[in-house]
């Protein structure tokens, strides 16, 4: 895709632009209803996007802000809501692809927040992948774009049906709802809505091709920019302010890291430069609490590690008990019994070869001596190529008794797993925000690649011994754009190993694991101090702070 700087003028006439300016400035950022729009919901979760929406909107309610969340009703997922979980709150008819389409609006209340779900026949029918829970997993992958555009088309009609025709800030998430920017502005010009501003948050660098005929399905009467080829290229110029993303570090990487600038988003760099990218850190995914007693923390910081290590060992015993209850036949490998001085490493997250680095972790494990640690992986398989799960299966078979893989969502006991592990490992190729704070809430330090939001969350214990919360690693052979493209386009884990940069990542990860093992076994004061630092580091991230930063964006979008 060619670089592109976008053109707001290509959509609207001077008269229309003047009308939109009046509608934008009529919004009062302090009292506006926040209409938060995304493709996921409490009944259709994939990654961190739902967690952000759930926590952020609940915090908005606690701040006495009017907020409504708008999302599709994914009817074919195994987790689709039953009749008792939603209630009808309205209807609307949406022109789309040459015909009127009936839409039912169904409301679900969660943490005091109104979630209004769009239900319509023939739309939002993703099969959900192997687990039946992934709203992005369609038998026909081209249908994701179609359903995303239809969801975008629904938003202004839903707002009107809900009586929210004025004083709204429409806060869009990712490319799937980005076309809402055009639909809202067309609704303002046509009089369906009276006043609204639009902002957009990208939780990752993904974009999608947008053919002219697909754009025309929206039936807004606006042709768009003939030079734009993707959703973001068409829609970013229509938002009222800079693009936002979920950490300050990732905002920098979007315009500086070759993985982003030369592989994922080279076609957006001119737009990023013109509009700006603002990083706003997420808060904590869960209640802020310490996994250890205050007395244990004080003693650990005074180089008396016994009490906090005893508390950690109690968590470990609960983990062992939770592991013993697993009877799922999908489990790969097993763990032999291990002593208290054997560290246990846990890796969780989506089995996403482009981001999470399960195969990188596997290669690092293979380079370690046998028997010195235990390794647990809990990949959410979703739509990942089977060869990447096969790779984990082969590792578990080759390292019998040392590696176990649970390729499914745990129904219970997972918190005990996080709390009992010696370290959580996050060898991400990139990480917009990351879940290090999730591990911290469970009382577990993190070993991770120094990228994105993890750079802000993890304090390297070797660099800052008094404040360390884990270990950071970075490869010595940096990947340029072509190297990143070779790594990302590799069809199998084995194909990645031929890359010198990838090999350097594996070596750096393995060295970091060796260091973590050394600390756990031989340096109890250092390990105990890590445990003691987790709560304070987690407290640096709060949804209250996130809201204040977004309020600045909202004010800028309406002034």
- CATH number (domain holding residue 120): 3.40.50.2000
Assigned domain for 460 exists:
yes
pLDDT of residue 3: 63
Q: Residue 222: its pLDDT value, please?
A: 87
pTM of the model: 0.95
Question: Are 226 and 365 contained in the same domain?
Answer: no
The confidence score (pLDDT) of residue 8 equals 62
Both 207 and 69 in one domain: the answer is yes
The three state secondary structure string of 301-329 is HCCCCHHHHHHHHHHHHHHHHHHHCCCCC
Both 68 and 188 in a single domain? yes
- Domain span at 33: 8-283+544-558
32 located within any domain: yes
> Is residue 311 assigned to a domain?
no
Strand partners, 457: none
Place of tokens 């600390």: 519
* pLDDT, position 6: 60
Shared domain for 168 and 208, answered yes or no, is yes
**Strand-by-strand arrangement of the 277-279 sheet:** 87-96, 99-110, 113-119, 67-72, 33-37, 168-173, 196-202, 243-245, 277-279
> What pLDDT is stored for residue 458 in this prediction?
98
Residue 192: which of 235, 159, 239 has the closest Cα? Answer: 159
CA distance 280 to 247: 5
Question: Same domain, yes or no, for 458 and 552?
Answer: no
Strands in 180-239 per DSSP E: 196-202
pLDDT value of position 5? 59
Q: Is 257 within a domain?
A: yes
Q: Which residues contact 464 (CB under 8 A, 6 or more apart)?
A: none
Write down the pLDDT at residue 132: 86
Whole-angstrom distance, CA of residue 508 vs CA of residue 222 = 51
Task: Assess if residue 38 is contained within a domain.
Answer: yes
Most distant CA pair in the chain, distance? 74
- Tens of pLDDT along the chain (559 residues) come to 666 656 666 789 999 999 999 999 999 999 999 999 999 999 999 878 999 999 999 999 999 999 999 999 999 999 999 999 999 999 999 999 999 999 999 999 999 999 999 999 999 999 998 778 899 999 898 999 999 999 999 999 999 999 999 999 999 999 999 999 999 999 999 999 999 999 999 999 999 999 999 999 999 988 888 899 999 999 999 999 999 999 999 999 999 999 999 999 999 999 999 999 999 999 999 889 999 999 999 999 999 999 999 999 999 999 999 999 999 999 999 999 999 999 999 999 989 999 999 999 999 999 999 999 999 999 988 778 899 999 999 999 999 999 999 998 887 899 999 999 999 999 999 999 999 999 999 999 999 999 999 999 999 999 999 999 999 999 999 999 999 999 999 999 999 999 999 999 999 999 999 999 999 999 999 999 999 999 999 999 999 999 999 999 999 999 9
Question: Do the domain assignments include residue 233?
Answer: yes
Angle (deg, nearest 10), helices 500-522 and 358-366: 70
Residue 289 resides in a domain: no
Q: Report CA-CA distances (Å) from 536 to 82, 283, 547.
A: 41, 14, 20
Q: Got the DSSP string for 112-164? A: TEEEEEEE-TTSS----TTTT--TT--SSTHHHHHHHHHHHHHHHHHHHHTT-
Tell me how many domains the chain contains.
2
Residues 93 and 128 in one domain: yes
pLDDT of the residue at 383:
74
Which tokens go with 318?
Answer: 């609960």
Statement to judge: residues 333 and 255 lie in one domain:
no
In whole angstroms, what is the distance from residue 178 CA to residue 152 CA?
7
Q: Please tell me whether residues 482 and 505 are part of one structural domain.
A: yes
Are the CB atoms for 172 and 159 separated by under 8 Å? no
A 10 A CB-CB count for 401 gives: 15
Report pLDDT for 210: 97
307: exposed, middle or buried (C-beta count within 10 Å: 0-12, 13-18, 19+)? Answer: middle
Task: Answer yes or no: do 351 and 465 share one domain.
Answer: yes
pLDDT in the model for residue 2:
60
Q: Are residues 517 and 549 in the same domain?
A: no
- Residues 531 and 550 reside in one and the same domain: no
Same domain, 221 and 349: no
| DSSP codes joined into one string, 271-289 | HHHHH-EEE-----SS---
In a domain, 74, yes or no: yes
């Amino acid at each position: 895709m060619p670089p592109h700087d976008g053109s707001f003028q290509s959509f609207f006439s001077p008269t229309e632009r003047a009308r939109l300016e009046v509608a934008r400035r009529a919004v009062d950022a302090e009292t506006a209803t926040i209409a938060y729009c995304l493709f996921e919901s409490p009944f259709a979760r994939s990654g961190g996007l739902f967690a952000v929406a759930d926590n952020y909107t609940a915090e908005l309610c606690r701040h006495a802000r009017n907020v409504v969340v708008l999302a599709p009703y994914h009817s074919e997922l195994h987790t689709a809501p039953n009749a008792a979980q939603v209630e009808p709150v309205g209807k609307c008819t949406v022109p789309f692809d040459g015909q009127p389409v009936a839409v039912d609006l169904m409301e679900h209340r969660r943490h005091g927040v109104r979630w209004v779900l769009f239900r319509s026949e023939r739309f939002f029918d993703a099969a959900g992948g192997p687990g039946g829970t992934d709203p992005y997993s369609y038998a026909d992958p081209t249908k994701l774009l179609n359903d995303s555009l239809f969801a975008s088309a629904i938003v202004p009609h839903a707002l009107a049906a809900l009586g929210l025709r004025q004083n709204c800030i429409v806060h869009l998430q990712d490319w799937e709802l980005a076309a809402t920017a055009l639909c809202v502005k067309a609704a303002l010009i046509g009089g369906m809505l009276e006043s609204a501003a639009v902002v957009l948050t990208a939780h990752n660098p993904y974009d999608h091709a947008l053919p002219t005929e697909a754009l025309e399905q929206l039936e807004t009467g606006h042709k768009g920019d003939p030079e734009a080829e993707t959703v973001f290229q068409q829609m970013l110029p229509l938002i009222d302010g800079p693009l936002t993303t979920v950490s300050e570090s990732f905002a920098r990487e979007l315009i500086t890291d070759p993985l982003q600038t030369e592989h994922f988003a080279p076609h957006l760099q001119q737009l990023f430069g013109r509009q700006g990218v603002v990083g706003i850190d997420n808060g904590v995914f869960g209640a802020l609490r310490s996994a250890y007693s205050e007395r244990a923390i004080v003693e650990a910081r005074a180089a008396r590690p016994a009490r906090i290590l005893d508390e950690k060992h109690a968590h470990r015993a609960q983990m062992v008990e939770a592991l013993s209850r697993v009877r799922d036949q999908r489990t790969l490998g097993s763990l032999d019994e291990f002593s208290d001085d054997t560290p246990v490493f846990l890796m969780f997250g989506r089995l996403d070869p482009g981001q999470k680095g399960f195969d990188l972790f596997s290669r690092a494990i293979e380079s370690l001596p046998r028997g010195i640690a235990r390794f647990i992986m809990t990949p959410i398989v979703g739509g990942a190529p089977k060869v990447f799960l096969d790779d984990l299966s082969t590792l578990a078979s080759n390292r019998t008794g040392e590696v176990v893989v649970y390729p499914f969502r745990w129904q219970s006991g997972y918190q005990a797993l996080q709390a009992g592990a010696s370290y959580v490992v996050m060898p991400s190729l990139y990480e917009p925000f990351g879940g290090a704070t999730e591990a911290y809430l469970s009382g577990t330090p993190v070993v991770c690649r120094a990228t994105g939001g993890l750079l802000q969350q993890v304090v390297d214990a070797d660099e800052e011994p008094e404040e360390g919360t884990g270990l950071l690693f970075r490869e010595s052979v940096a990947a340029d754009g072509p190297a990143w493209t070779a790594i990302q386009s590799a069809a199998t884990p084995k194909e990645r190993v031929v890359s010198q940069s990838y090999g350097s990542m594996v070596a750096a990860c393995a060295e970091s694991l060796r260091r973590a093992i050394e600390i756990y076994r031989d340096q109890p004061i250092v390990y105990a101090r890590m445990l003691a630092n987790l709560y304070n580091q987690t407290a640096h991230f709060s949804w209250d702070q996130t809201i204040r930063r977004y309020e600045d964006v909202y004010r800028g979008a309406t002034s």
